[in-house]
């Protein structure tokens, strides 16, 4: 099942190339609003969809309603990550910080926040009520009913992200090693890092968001 969901999500991203182009242009102009507004629209559009039924990405439309929906989604996700934000702010004001402990706590909390917030966003959109995003009894009930598949999805996406990071680190280390023998390679390294950052930020993350929205809804519909 999880492989069907992953395959369907990947195929879904490429179903409307014209909208993908508009999506990336829009991200350059107003990234967060467009991403969250379009995410809301995708989730809403996929609620009645089925895996492998060749659904297409919906057209991008920005109006007052869509912008408000995007803001709701953004606020909901921010509130789920509020504990991490507070911890970081507190850590910045401390004279001495155990960064290993801080990093461990932030990783654990971030994974938990991500795990809960994804189902919460779909639940909110499904019920068209912001407060449903914090209906924890319902959220845990859904997670319990789709638990194995959802965990498999989290693990699969985590492996993909680690793979991307791993390849990037290998490239960086290789260039740094070669840079010890030729100073010109240092300049190449800087340029390459800028390009890799741009590609990851502007291409990989928005594409992952589209894939993730489709996959999460497919998992949610298994409840």
HEC per residue, 157-221: HHHHHHHHHHHHHHHHHHHHHHHCCCCHHHHHHHHHHHHHHHHHHHHHHHHHHHHHHHHHHHHHC
Indicate the burial class of 123 (C-beta count within 10 angstroms; 0-12, 13-18, 19 or more). Answer: buried
Which of 103 and 204 is assigned the larger pLDDT?
Answer: 103
Most confident of 78-82, 90-94, 144-148: 78-82
CA dist 222 to 50, 146, 148, 197, Å?
10, 6, 11, 36
pLDDT given at position 124: 94
Q: What is the mean pLDDT of the chain?
A: 80
CA distance 104 to 97: 13
pLDDT in tens, 149-178: 888 888 887 787 777 777 767 766 776 666
pLDDT on residue 204? 75
The three-point CA angle 198-200-205 to 5° equals: 120
Instruction: Give CA 168 to chain center in angstroms.
Output: 19
- Quick one: pLDDT band at residue 83, thresholds 50, 70, 90? very high
pTM of the model: 0.77
Distance CA 16, CA 21 (A): 9
């Amino acid at each position: 099942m999880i492989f069907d969901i992953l395959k369907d999500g990947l195929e879904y991203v490429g179903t409307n190339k014209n909208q993908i182009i508009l999506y990336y242009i829009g991200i350059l102009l107003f990234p967060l609003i467009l991403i969250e507004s379009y995410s809301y629209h995708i989730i809403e559009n996929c609620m009645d969809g089925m895996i492998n039924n060749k659904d297409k990405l919906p057209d991008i439309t920005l109006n007052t309603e869509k912008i408000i929906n995007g803001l709701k989604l953004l606020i909901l996700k921010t509130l789920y990550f509020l504990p991490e934000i507070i911890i970081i702010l507190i850590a910045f004001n401390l004279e001495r910080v155990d960064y290993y402990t801080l990093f461990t706590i932030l990783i654990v909390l971030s994974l938990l926040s991500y795990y809960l917030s994804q189902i919460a966003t779909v639940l909110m959109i499904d019920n068209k009520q912001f407060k449903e995003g914090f209906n924890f009894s319902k959220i845990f009930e859904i997670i319990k009913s789709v638990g194995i598949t959802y965990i498999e999805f989290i693990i699969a996406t985590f492996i993909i992200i680690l793979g991307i990071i791993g390849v990037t680190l290998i490239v960086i280390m290789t260039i740094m090693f070669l840079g010890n023998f030729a100073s010109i390679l240092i300049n190449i390294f800087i340029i390459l890092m800028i390009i890799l950052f741009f590609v990851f930020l502007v291409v990989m993350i928005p594409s992952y968001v589209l894939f993730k929205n489709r996959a999460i809804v497919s998992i949610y519909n298994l409840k």
